[in-house]
Structure 1
Amino acid sequence: MASSSKGLGKRLAGFWKKHPVWSLVLAAGVLLVALGGVRSLRGPEVPVLEVKRGPLVHRVVMSGRVSPPAEWVVASQLPGTVARVLVDEGARVQPGQVLVELDAAPQEADVARARAALAQARARLGGLKEVGVPQREEAVRRAEAELARAEREAQRARTLAEAGVMTRVQLEEAVTALDVARSRLVSARAEAAGSGQGGSEQRQAEAALAQAEAELRAAEARRAQATLTATTPAVVLTREVEPGDSVQPGAKLLTLARLGGTQLTVEPDERNLAYLREGQKAVASAEAFPRERFSAEVETVAPSVNPDRGTVEVKLAVPQPPEYLRPGMTVSVDVEVGRREDVRVVPLDAVHEASSESPWVLVLRDGRAERVGVKTGLRGEDRVEVLEGLSEGDRVLPTSAKVKPGQRVRPAEEG
């Protein structure tokens, strides 16, 4: 045995002397194999993530569109022909500004007829007061005088008839004349009462006057409807008519959107519903102007979820909308829904089953991956707050390392 070992040694020594280069290559290979074996026993090399303390902000990023709080259609209330359109699409208008004018000739004619009817009603009432009442009062006085004369004639006829000077026929004629005089007085007094203050004839004349006044106001209102004006600060979205077009009542002429108080409408996934609250501050930007950012605030969160898309509608108020913002623009909204100033945080990539009720991490301890259950809190874009299970300085393994619990591992920084 000893002699064979010595022989092998001599042969190796001879090979080394004859082939020094190949001997070095062989020695290096043996060394690498030995090192590989040692490393395999220590486990794969993986990156590690450290549990640290620091601030954490939870943001919900959503996309949506600009929606004006009020949008309405300017429509004609009259049939007619468009005379002028004084605004174009995109124009900003103020209250009282004329938008569209219709040909008002038919309405002007109605106003003229109503004014003539009013003048006639006023003249009738004025004539009744100035002429009719005095005439009827004079008629009453004449009837009273005729009745007094008829009473005297009737009394004289009775006296003469008793003396035998006047016939019975003459007496009956005098009595009849007295009855006629009394009837005329009753009629005159009735006519005077009717034409006087509070009488039926005067009431009829006053009613006719009131009706004429109402008809004039209605005619003037119809004439005013031929001129369409803005009622609030707005921007013109669409223009549907041109001068010369014939329109019917209800025909859409313009579409306007109220200025000020612009809203953003977004529909985040329903899983974000628990984080969104009215009054939360947000920062938004329009897709057309990505470098320009403006402030917004959560105004309403819909009480129900869209079952088809699994989203919830959220509206945000924009107190000071920038000039470039237009209805329908696509916007990106970043809402800050939570903030912690000094908490233990770990990269989200280190948490397994992060959305479940029992999240866990792999902690590097004594060269092995140890499974540890954790309780998480506020979640940011790439980090999550650790409430229980980890301490500051603990080293955890990312989920991308594909390491199993209990497996030996080597942290990458140790080489």
Structure 2
Amino acid sequence: MAVSGARPRVAWACDALEARGRLFPEPEMPPRSPFRRDCDRIIHSTAFRRLKHKTQVFVFNEGDHYRTRLTHTLEVAQVARSIARALGLDEDLAEALALAHDLGHPPFAHAGERALDACLKGQGGFDHNAQSLRVVTRIERRYAQFDGLNLTWETLEGIAKHNGPLTDRQGRGIGRYRDGLPHAIRVHSAQQDLELWSHASAEAQAAAIADDIAYDVHDFDDGLRAGMFTLDDLAELPLLGEAIAEVRQRYRGLDLPRTVNEVFRRVITRLIEDVVAESERRADAAGVASAEAVRALDGPVVGFSPAMREKEKAVKGFLFPRMYRHERVNRIMADAQQVVRDLYGHFLSHPKDMPSSWHDDIDGLGSERMARRVADYIAGMTDRYALDQHARFFDLTPDLR
């Protein structure tokens, strides 16, 4: 199956002409659609620029060629657009959701998230997906008439439901949110109903699975570069092993860098092709004929086939112990968590050490709101800035190498 050519818009795609609008009404600006404007606003945001100095897996000073949150985000956007184009979905909406999906990540990747979540235990915790919503609805301050970016309902919905529905129809949290919704989701839900009980649009689902595809494949590339495993180690894995055998058979004697690139481009293509074929099968089987019908389904319409899902699980099963839980990564991330904990404790006790825009209205905030203010400030930091701030207030700052 070819995935490069665009197909006519399918009936179950989101239609920009029928977008549900923005929390703060604004006039439209043809020829840009509402979803294209969302893309542009995200790209021009401060939070988006900061992604270039935020960790994906390896911190910035370990090398120039490892993925950062920004390069990962761009790769997710490319895959999301490819899927949306092949399915006949709205490419701009899929791209907007891919561009926004990691805006809430704190410094030092999931290590920073775990540290902030522990610091805010009992006060709503910290969830990077929810923080992405908070960034685009409250923290970004670029416009005269409102805080945030005032994105369309469809984009906000997709950010909030990056991992699927958050509640049942009665508003009770489900899955990982059974004990309560993240703070940012609760705050925004008081202003705007994002229908947290339903699935998100097919475009949002395309962006979410593009995230899986991008980090599955490109984290292998970074792991190889870091010497955590070899290409021969991957030859026994499903999907990767098939591509390795094919490249070695076709291009005998090819050097390692070209071999790696040939392998990974084949893997990405096969993953995308599988998603497109399976999503079309699901849509046909369910008889969906509108974006609302997609939201009302019991499960996602965009996804891997059962066979590919098993292969993808095997890929993740390899990456977790060999890369994400590698001794080197664990050691660095343990130090990174301490940096975040130290900063949180310091700024909570000395809020005026934050920039004036973060502390000039703190009188009467209350302990919970003050804790959230500090967490918002730290979550916006790049790795480099967090280390610089730590060195200002503490005698010993880890090197993170």
Provide the TM-score with structure 1 as the length reference: 0.17
In the superposition, the TM-score normalised over structure 2's length comes to 0.18
Higher relative contact order (CA 8 A, sep 6+): 1
